[in-house]
Chain A
């Protein structure tokens, strides 16, 4: 069968789109906020903005996910130190309200997590 030049281009375009999809949709997946509390573990995607109320021994701690970063905006503790901690977006940090037993960490299944450890 005679293969025509435009057919080759059409197939190349398809392959290009497949590689692009494979690249974008595997690297950005897997950045989740993990919340540990007395009630159990909770998990939410960091890609969606939301407000979560977490129950602790002292009352409700308010956790906010905004622009891919998570932080505690309010907590029923004395010092409110947790509300002043830097928001987290990757597995390098954490935010905690120790009096109310709430710990925020980021879980990701990216390959660069390994690099962070070895560096």
Chain B
């Protein structure tokens, strides 16, 4: 692989590091984002051409979806569209305005584009039109965060060196996933069945079974994001009353239909994400340059270590970032394939019967 391609993979792996960090920050809405992962993109905005920049952006989108395990759920559509929109707008702004715009301007325009596209996608795929109620909040948070991130990226560009200097560095070991087509195929069928299921009870059962599948796949189950998602859906259902009024809160009413609808949407999304989490661990290997770049990106990502603090803050960050170029990647947990096959088969049977 050429040094330029390796550099793209390396920069992409730093975005994964930041999106993993962002994932740890609790948020009231599942897609309220600070966009930390865009920091490296802003740093290399001028030095990368259109093609390399978009490639980097795609690696960031796919890589972070593999790390968070949402690649095979429709959260991916949101992340994909939002990420692509912001990259195109950021690169567009920087190549149109050249020296008249700084990383702050590019960052705020990118955040605006990404948020608008994600709100649109969320209104189509997850929440329905009531999500637009949250638009001013999301856009305001996005603007504030993007201005700060733009300023940070500008500061790093002037002082740091790893991402901006000439590239002549080592190759990391590529990410090794165990490819198991049978559970992958079974889980793909489950995804489709879950996506079209309309009743809460079968979904509840599928969720329980798929959580077990996820556990068998060796991935951690985090309940926090699921609970936040449920809560946000329930709050937003207040703005779309539908059916019998159970109780009223001022001019808003809790209605039976809206409550049921929110429950089904929440269960469906949580189930899909659990399914997708399991699928990521048994993903088949794909041929082609993009996929070998993707595994190199994930390889770099799993090699990052935190080093002892020395020198200035920017130097310390560079020190930590350099660990990926020298150290070995962390070992992957092996999925319990037989258990996964049994569980996914069980969920398919159940979803078809009901």
Partner-B contacts on A (CB < 8 A) = 1-11, 13-15, 17-18, 21-22, 25-26, 29-30, 32, 34, 39-45, 107-109
In the assembled complex, 27 residue pairs joining A and B whose CB atoms fall closer than 8 Å, in A order, are A1-B154, A4-B99, A4-B101, A5-B100, A6-B101, A6-B102, A7-B102, A7-B104, A10-B93, A10-B101, A10-B108, A11-B147, A14-B143, A15-B143, A17-B112, A17-B139, A18-B136, A25-B133, A25-B135, A25-B136, A26-B133, A29-B133, A32-B241, A42-B243, A42-B244, A43-B242, A43-B243
Chain B residues 94 to 116 lying within 8 A of chain A, measured CB to CB, are 97, 99-102, 104-106, 108-109, 111-112, 116
A6, B105: Cβ atoms closer than 8 Å:
yes
Chain B residues 217 to 274 lying within 8 A of chain A, measured CB to CB, are 239-245, 250-253, 255
B253, A21: Cβ atoms closer than 8 Å:
no
Given contacts A11-B143, A17-B139, A22-B136, contact A4 B102 (CB under 8 A): yes
Distance between Cα atoms of A29 and B140 in the complex (Å): 20
Nearest-CB residue, chain B, relative to A40: B244
Distance between Cα atoms of A109 and B241 in the complex (Å): 13
Distance between Cα atoms of A108 and B136 in the complex (Å): 21
Distance between Cα atoms of A14 and B89 in the complex (Å): 13
Contacts of A32 in B (CB 8 A): 241, 253
* Cβ of A70 to closest chain B Cβ, rounded Å: 13
Distance between Cα atoms of A39 and B143 in the complex (Å): 48
One of B116, B135, B250 near A109 (C-beta < 8 A):
B250
Contacts of A22 in B (CB 8 A): 135-136
Contacts of A6 in B (CB 8 A): 93, 97, 100-102, 105
Beyond known contacts A11-B147, A41-B245: 7 more, CB 8 A cutoff = A3-B102, A18-B136, A25-B136, A41-B244, A42-B245, A45-B242, A109-B250
A9, B133: Cβ atoms closer than 8 Å:
no
B102, A18: Cβ atoms closer than 8 Å:
no
Distance between Cα atoms of A99 and B242 in the complex (Å): 25
Beta-carbon contacts of B37-71 to A below 8 Å, as 1s and 0s? 00000000000000000000000000000000000
Nearest-CB residue, chain A, relative to B243: A42
Contacts of B101 in A (CB 8 A): 4, 6-7, 10
B105, A9: Cβ atoms closer than 8 Å:
yes
Distance between Cα atoms of A5 and B151 in the complex (Å): 15
Beta-carbon contacts of B128-151 to A below 8 Å, as 1s and 0s? 000011011001101100010011
* Cβ of A91 to closest chain B Cβ, rounded Å: 10
A11, B154: Cβ atoms closer than 8 Å:
no
Contacts of B104 in A (CB 8 A): 3, 7, 10-11
* Cβ of B148 to closest chain A Cβ, rounded Å: 12
Contacts of B150 in A (CB 8 A): 7
Contacts of A21 in B (CB 8 A): 132, 135-136, 139
Distance between Cα atoms of A6 and B195 in the complex (Å): 44
Contacts of A107 in B (CB 8 A): 251, 253
Contacts of B112 in A (CB 8 A): 13-14, 17
Distance between Cα atoms of A8 and B136 in the complex (Å): 20
A10, B106: Cβ atoms closer than 8 Å:
yes
A45, B240: Cβ atoms closer than 8 Å:
yes
A18, B139: Cβ atoms closer than 8 Å:
yes
* Cβ of B136 to closest chain A Cβ, rounded Å: 4
One of B116, B241, B242 near A17 (C-beta < 8 A):
B116
Distance between Cα atoms of A108 and B139 in the complex (Å): 26
Contacts of B109 in A (CB 8 A): 10, 13-14
Distance between Cα atoms of A51 and B253 in the complex (Å): 20
Contacts of A42 in B (CB 8 A): 243-245, 255
* Cβ of A60 to closest chain B Cβ, rounded Å: 16
B143, A109: Cβ atoms closer than 8 Å:
no
Contacts of B93 in A (CB 8 A): 6, 10
One of A11, A17, A30 near B251 (C-beta < 8 A):
A30
B151, A1: Cβ atoms closer than 8 Å:
yes
* Cβ of A56 to closest chain B Cβ, rounded Å: 15
* Cβ of A105 to closest chain B Cβ, rounded Å: 12
Contacts of B139 in A (CB 8 A): 14, 17-18, 21
* Cβ of B32 to closest chain A Cβ, rounded Å: 15
A18, B140: Cβ atoms closer than 8 Å:
yes
* Cβ of B309 to closest chain A Cβ, rounded Å: 25
A43, B151: Cβ atoms closer than 8 Å:
no
